[in-house]
Structure 1
Amino acid sequence: MKTLVVLVLCSLAVICVISDADPDPQPAGDNPAQDGMFVERDEASTVVRQKRAAGQLSLVQLESLREVCEANLGCEHMMDTAGIIAAYTAYYGPIPY
């Protein structure tokens, strides 16, 4: 009787191990998720999105910053003395583009 119980338990354990195994194992090179090709959206945006230097802004972007800064007298005065980039950054934070 004990032998029958042990045999049934062993066969159940073997069935569980076999059913959990991947029926179609792929080599590590075939699965792009394991190779690190895909990353989470937040991680990708921090890696890809980099700040642009002030010299890389187009004339249209600089004009839009100037229009925002002209609405504030302090920002407008600083814009005339220190430049649009410094004034916008001081009053409104980092440049959005």
Structure 2
Amino acid sequence: MKTLLVLVLCSLAVVCLTDGLFVEKEQASTVVRQKRAAGELTLTQLESLSEVCEADLACDDMMDTDGIIAAYTAYYGPIPY
């Protein structure tokens, strides 16, 4: 009985590995979370980014010249939504 269970589990592992069910971490992250374009953000989301950026003087200055998306990304990383 134990031998049969081990054989079934091994065959299942082989099938999973050969069918491409496992992917690299970078590939999975691009599939799961696609980045949005700047035009897809709502007015509320842009206002939220602006409020965060206004708390930092350097980010606020950059926001005035380069825009909210560029400033937020430069100082705080990728946009969370």
Q: TM-score range by the shorter chain?
A: 0.5 to 0.7
TM-score (norm 2): 0.65
Distance 1:47 1:77 in 2: 34
Give unmatched runs, 5+ long, in structure 1: 1-15, 23-32
| Runs of 4+ with deviation above 4 angstroms | 42-46
Distance 1:94 1:68 in 2: 13
Note if 1:90 corresponds to 2:74: yes
Distance 2:76 2:40 in 1: 19
Work out which of the two has the higher radius of gyration on C-alpha atoms and give 1 or 2.
Answer: 1
AA partner of residue 88 (structure 1): Y
> RCO higher in 1 or 2 (8 Å CA, sep ≥ 6)?
2
Distance 2:72 2:40 in 1: 16
- Percent of aligned pairs with the same residue? 71
Distance 2:74 2:30 in 1: 23
Which residue pairs with 1:68 in the alignment? 52
Q: How many residues align?
A: 72
Distance 1:94 1:44 in 2: 17
Note if 1:48 corresponds to 2:37: no
TM-score (norm 1): 0.55
In 2 relative to 1, CA 59–93 (structure 1 residues): closer, same or farther, beyond 3 Å? Answer: same
AA partner of residue 94 (structure 1): P
SS of equivalent residue, structure 2 residue 69: helix
